[in-house]
A and B are shown apart, each in its own frame.
Chain A
Amino acid sequence: DQQVKQNSPSLSVQEGRISILNCDYTNSMFDYFLWYKKYPAEGPTFLISISSIKDKNEDGRFTVFLNKSAKHLSLHIVPSQPGDSAVYFCAATVDQTGANNLFFGTGTRLTVIP
């Protein structure tokens, strides 16, 4: 059963506007969350992460928000650029176990329209 869910398979946004990608998880033991970005014919690349002790982490145009009570996180991209068009995967892990393995969602394909 999917422990990390991305319910929107695709999203289209105009260049310059905000892109919001959403992710839900079911395992309350998850304590570290990541977003990966994937271009066609390439492997996923790490984008941004957040620990469960925080509710927000920002890196340039990218901000991740975590709502632990709702078991929900989101990725905001502002402003969106055509080069941001890719598939975005949400991932989670139980960092305190040191196991290091990630559980991924099914991905959201973002298209930024010039």
Chain B
Amino acid sequence: DAGVIQSPRHEVTEMGQEVTLRCKPISGHDYLFWYRQTMMRGLELLIYFNNNVPIDDSGMPEDRFSAKMPNASFSTLKIQPSEPRDSAVYFCASSRGEGTYSPLHFGNGTRLTVT
């Protein structure tokens, strides 16, 4: 299996620009998560989906952030407008939801730098 695939690996943009991060989960996984990693707060959950439906978006910092999952094989995280404090590594993860707990499988992340 190819694992969770994220793109781009690196994104450098100017403050005020729109940024779109992309994720392809592992086939057959019905949960998808977006996390943000910062030095101060570690890995923070932003939002997660179950069967393409957003379940909990309480971790989304503010209205500038939005996430969609139009189908089982694709999700996007959008920041509009971006700000320097959004600079971080953004991880997508997926897992199976049935039965005993199934650990999350992470992609390699997108390093976002907003100048």
Q: A34-B103, A98-B97 are in contact. Are A106 and B41 (CB under 8 A)?
A: yes
Which residues 40-61 in B have Cβ within 8 Å of A in the complex?
A: 40-45, 48, 50, 55-56
Closest residue on chain B to residue A48 by CB atoms? B103
Report chain A residues within 8 Å CB of B33: 101-102
A89–B101 Cα distance when bound, in Å, is 18
Chain A residues near B (Cβ < 8 Å): 2, 6, 32, 34, 36, 41-46, 49, 51, 89, 91, 93, 95, 98-107
Pairs across A and B, CB under 8 Å, 24 listed? A6-B42, A34-B103, A36-B106, A42-B108, A42-B109, A43-B107, A43-B108, A43-B109, A45-B106, A49-B101, A49-B103, A89-B43, A91-B43, A93-B101, A99-B56, A100-B97, A101-B48, A101-B56, A102-B33, A104-B35, A104-B42, A104-B44, A105-B42, A106-B42
